[in-house]
Chains A and B, each alone.
Chain A
Amino acid sequence: MFDQYDVIVVGAGHAGCEAAAAAANLGSKVLLITMDMTKMAQMSCNPAMGGIAKGQIVREIDALGGYSGIVSDKSTIQFRMLNRSKGPAMWSPRSQNDRMLFTQYWRELLEETINIDFWQDMVSEIILDKETVVGVKTGMGQTINAKSVILTNGTFLNGIIHIGTKQFGGGRIGEKSATGITEQLRSIGLETGRMKTGTPPRIDGRTLNYAKMEIQEGDTNPERFSYLKDERKTTKQLNCWITYTNQNVHDILKEGFEDSPMYAGRIQGLGPRYCPSIEDKINRFAERERHQIFVEPEGWNTHEIYVNGFSTSLPENIQYKALRHIPGFENAKMFRPGYAIEYDYFPPTQLNLNLETKSIKNLFFAGQINGTTGYEEAACQGLMAGINAHQSINNKQPFILNRSEAYIGVLIDDLVNKGTDEPYRMFTSRAEYRLMLRQDNADVRLTTKSYELGLASEERIEAVTAKIKKTNQIIEYFKKTSIQPEIANPMLIDNGSSEIKQNYKLFQILSRPQINIENFKNTSLEIEALFNTCDKDSLLSAEILMKYEGYLEKEQLLVEKMTRLENIQIKETFDFSAIKSLSLEAKEKLIKQRPKTLGQASRISGIAPSDISILMVHLGR
């Protein structure tokens, strides 16, 4: 009944969808298996994409030829560029999305992608030939053969949902959990752990009093995630709202603490510290009198509201009672309660940098199964796993991004080398080369690489090539052209910058904090003509590269300094156990994780700098 596939993707969440698309677009024959085809790329938690550090990831996915950016743009109900008050490296795009449209557009895109077949079923087992995966078995008893398998099971592996004292099996509320895979993989030696995450209640928007809340509007000139130019512009937007909890709300929530699955110890998995439940916030930050609540609409054609900041697993009646003491929520009606979910994950130190398991050939993991949280984190892993599954079965080089090339590189390197105990979320502070990894230049950083791989389209490479050319042209002009005081001074005065007395090069004036590149537009006909040939993105790129030149150069020097460790290879046969002088902990971790370079070794937790020095000597450096 089934063909022989190149890649089977198990799960059709954000990771699975990107994985299927990437592998198929590279030319692999793909089967996407999901338990429910109506839930593809479901936004199980908040109806939003991007945010600080995450928005950069979405742009990276787009630059590489993934679909998340395109789908987000098509389903946007509000768009904001966060961190605008900070420098361009911090700017982070974020969209609120229509949950149903998001799913719908993803499914349409995948159905349009040649090379992808679909099958609705639960995968209960992978089929092994010695230490290589060769297919899967399903709950309905099907055997399907493939050269590689990508597991993107999300929260479904032995998922248990908790609401107050109630608990029941499930991968999302109202959906069954998946069993079999964890047990099988554990039996052949893979380690597993439990993690926990949670989601807030959903409310009927018609029952809210927005007059009591602060409005949060979208940007006046909303931007988009995708670098592709042919997408329609966002015109209409919906508002979000901000309100706060208070002491009353906290007191009511505390009534439910004894029934809380967290405090009663029924949940063993570790939850994310940076996305705590409301009960956690009250408990851990008892001194705070209020907590912020974001009221987010779920779409154009629904009244459903997402109560961001109120994730909880307390009993439904407590949730309901507490909610009604939040300003604006006095008459709120609940669509469904918040809940916590516990699920299996596989510590990601068991993976190589291409996301393939170290112990089973052609078996790849992506998304929450690796201990991450977030659609963006999942999607980018899916994309990389899809690419690498294709590379692996075609005996091609693994596609690995460095920490200095992409947030995706930082994410995977962190997972594989450091591992994670709590759901891993990306932050800009995790990136040591943050000034380079900006949302405005993901295409410059990545599109060529992806194009060479065969994934990014002709259209993308043409766009980025044109952008780079234009950017360089502007920079060249600004570096060689001088401006006279009589022309510059009116513009400088207008912008609160001090006057000049002699000629200066344009880029010297641009380096002043008060001045931006648009200010030069009317200083000469030549500049105006030049600007008229440039799109907004090239102008912005040129401005950033000139304004931050000094910092970018310093960061580049750091990259070069640190890369030397990355270039010291550790041979497959290198015997860590023979080095007496390594600490016991270091020896164990090194033997287990088998880093391929000294740089990788240096990031394994528990490996001290002195261990690295010792290795360096033994590796002949």
Chain B
Amino acid sequence: MNPNSYQPNDTICALATPAGLGAIGVIRLSGTKAIAIANQCFIGKDLTQVASHTAHFGRLVQTETIIDEVLATVFVEPKSYTGENTVEISCHGSPYIQQKILETLVERGARLAQPGEFTLRAFLNGKLDLTQAEAVADLIASDSEMSHKTAMNQMRGGFSKEIALLREKLINFASLIELELDFSEEDVEFASRPELHTLVSNLHVMLRNLADSFKTGNAIKNGVPTVIAGKPNAGKSTLLNALIKEDRAIVSDIAGTTRDTIEEVFSIGGINFRLIDTAGIRTHTADLIESIGIEKTYEKIRLASIVVYLFDAITTSPESLANELAEFKTLDAIVIPVANKIDLAETNALQQKFAAFENLILLSSKTQDGLNQLYERLRAVVETEAGRDDVIITNIRHFKALSDAAQSLAQVLESMQINRTGELLAFDIRKAIFHLGEVTGEITNDDLLANIFSKFCIGK
């Protein structure tokens, strides 16, 4: 939400579950008068008298009309998500009922919450720090096991802690340099430059890695961009269908953000894969390599983190495969070579034929033999990349700050190389510390808040 419009004394309400039909819906009411307002339209126990963290069955009425039978759960301040008096009303999952209940609550003195307002209040009441609040936004937006996991990790403060540690090391380093600047007249011993160089390079690598993990993190959050490539008739569309027809897959159509193409998503082991430019595969006229040309194809492939390279196991010689794969070498993507149509030859013979290729997968998109190995490989690739327990950056603001910090440290290394004077080293170190502070919330600026609170959906 825009913190400009913050009205701390209002009682706010919103639907906390997704809009639309469902088995149940939950409406959340928070603020000083939350319990009193809920009680006014609740027929059942006197909610103002019940203990905190108890649920009560009753009927919700608008003036005299009964809207629904509901369960009201009461949280007395400060022991609630927002730190305020809160009532969660579980009702039946009809948009009409939910709308009516919200109307009733507003009539009784509540107002509709703005996006992010519940979390803003939680933050203002000291329930969350800024990075945690940020993680809540990510948590709510997470739709796969992996993205959920990284968001959870961040919300528990793991990420802040790591950055705070790095920041502390840098502050120590900075103080050594400051000593040289402010006490050069005195008989003090200065830190050795090689030691400082080692420290800064190490920190620089760590920050670089963290910043780089954004790519992985972002992939986890939004789906790993994947391309199926291959010559005409290699069997790409059959494989595509096999991948997205799988039962466990979450198959959905997402309108492409930057192009007018349809992207399809499938899920393996809690990881979402986003197929890039499947349109090109579906329409036979637009077979990538032939019709658009190799350059255009590469443009698409460059967007990918993973390239599944499909080829005809029967007609492709190991030599030409090696040539074809070499074309991908310049890409910053992981290439999985997949030999298709293995149903047309002896598996052993094929294994021998392509023995020189590591990590090659033999598959028949027709019989679906080998499909499981492909799944395994895709999952393994992402998990290795993500390192599973490592800290992964998923937030663009963090990415920006970490990149800036890493860049400042690179500048420090350069300065040491060409013997720039201490105050210039100190300048860039201070800058790096400043940027790390932006991540941990030790530096406050209005961007931070505006950025954080603009990301929330209504109800959280």
- B-chain residues with CB within 8 Å of residue A53 when the two chains form the complex: 182
Q: Given A429-B178, A434-B423, does the pair A86, B126 have CB atoms closer than 8 Å?
A: no
Nearest neighbor of A613 in chain B, beta-carbon distance: B444
Q: Given A565-B444, A610-B130, does the pair A513, B418 have CB atoms closer than 8 Å?
A: yes
Is there an interface contact between A610 and B129, defined as CB atoms closer than 8 Å? yes
Kindly identify which residue among B4, B183, B422, B434 contacts A86, using a CB–CB cutoff of 8 Å: B422
Question: Which size bracket describes the interface of B in this complex?
Answer: 35 or more
B286 near A: Cβ within 8 Å? no
A618 near B: Cβ within 8 Å? yes
A598 to nearest B CB, angstroms? Answer: 9
Is there an interface contact between B446 and A564, defined as CB atoms closer than 8 Å? yes
Q: Given A291-B187, A513-B419, does the pair A83, B444 have CB atoms closer than 8 Å?
A: no
Is there an interface contact between A614 and B124, defined as CB atoms closer than 8 Å? yes
- B-chain residues with CB within 8 Å of residue A583 when the two chains form the complex: 126
- B-chain residues with CB within 8 Å of residue A609 when the two chains form the complex: 441-444
Interface residues of B in 119-158 (CB under 8 A from A): 120, 123-126, 129-130
B6 near A: Cβ within 8 Å? yes
Nearest neighbor of B3 in chain A, beta-carbon distance: A617
- B-chain residues with CB within 8 Å of residue A434 when the two chains form the complex: 423, 426-427
A440 to nearest B CB, angstroms? Answer: 14
Q: Given A428-B423, A432-B430, A551-B424, does the pair A621, B449 have CB atoms closer than 8 Å?
A: yes
- B-chain residues with CB within 8 Å of residue A551 when the two chains form the complex: 424, 427
Scoring B residues 1 to 13 as 1 if CB is less than 8 Å from chain A, else 0, what string do you get?
A: 0011010100000
B448 near A: Cβ within 8 Å? yes
Is there an interface contact between A621 and B444, defined as CB atoms closer than 8 Å? no
Is there an interface contact between B120 and A617, defined as CB atoms closer than 8 Å? yes
Kindly identify which residue among A87, A613, A621 contacts B424, using a CB–CB cutoff of 8 Å: A87
B421 near A: Cβ within 8 Å? yes
Interface residues of A in 408-452 (CB under 8 A from B): 427-429, 432, 434-435
Please give the number of chain A residues whose Cβ is less than 8 angstroms from any Cβ of chain B in the complex. 41
B51 near A: Cβ within 8 Å? no
Is there an interface contact between A617 and B423, defined as CB atoms closer than 8 Å? no
- B-chain residues with CB within 8 Å of residue A614 when the two chains form the complex: 124
A292 near B: Cβ within 8 Å? yes
B190 to nearest A CB, angstroms? Answer: 12
A190 to nearest B CB, angstroms? Answer: 32
Complexed CA–CA distance, A134 and B125 (Å): 46
B185 near A: Cβ within 8 Å? yes
Complexed CA–CA distance, A19 and B225 (Å): 69
Kindly identify which residue among A90, A561, A616 contacts B423, using a CB–CB cutoff of 8 Å: A90
Interface residues of A in 277-295 (CB under 8 A from B): 291-292
- A-chain residues with CB within 8 Å of residue B215 when the two chains form the complex: none
Nearest neighbor of B422 in chain A, beta-carbon distance: A86
Is there an interface contact between B6 and A617, defined as CB atoms closer than 8 Å? yes
A620 near B: Cβ within 8 Å? yes
B294 near A: Cβ within 8 Å? no
Nearest neighbor of B408 in chain A, beta-carbon distance: A554
- A-chain residues with CB within 8 Å of residue B186 when the two chains form the complex: 292
A82 near B: Cβ within 8 Å? yes
Complexed CA–CA distance, A52 and B185 (Å): 9
Q: Given A565-B445, A618-B6, does the pair A51, B185 have CB atoms closer than 8 Å?
A: yes
- A-chain residues with CB within 8 Å of residue B446 when the two chains form the complex: 564, 616, 621
Interface residues of B in 168-209 (CB under 8 A from A): 178, 181-187
Q: Which 10 A-B pairs have the closest CB atoms?
A: A292-B187, A87-B421, A429-B178, A612-B444, A617-B3, A427-B182, A581-B124, A86-B421, A609-B444, A621-B446
Q: Which residues of A contact B (CB under 8 A)?
A: 51-53, 82-83, 85-87, 89-90, 291-292, 427-429, 432, 434-435, 513, 548, 551, 554-555, 558, 561, 564-565, 580-581, 583, 602, 609-610, 612-614, 616-618, 620-621
Q: Which residues of B contact A (CB under 8 A)?
A: 3-4, 6, 8, 83, 120, 123-126, 129-130, 178, 181-187, 418-424, 426-427, 430-431, 434, 441-446, 448-449
Q: Jot down 10 A-B pairs with beta carbons below 8 A, ordered by A.
A: A82-B184, A82-B185, A85-B421, A434-B426, A513-B419, A548-B424, A554-B427, A565-B445, A610-B130, A616-B3
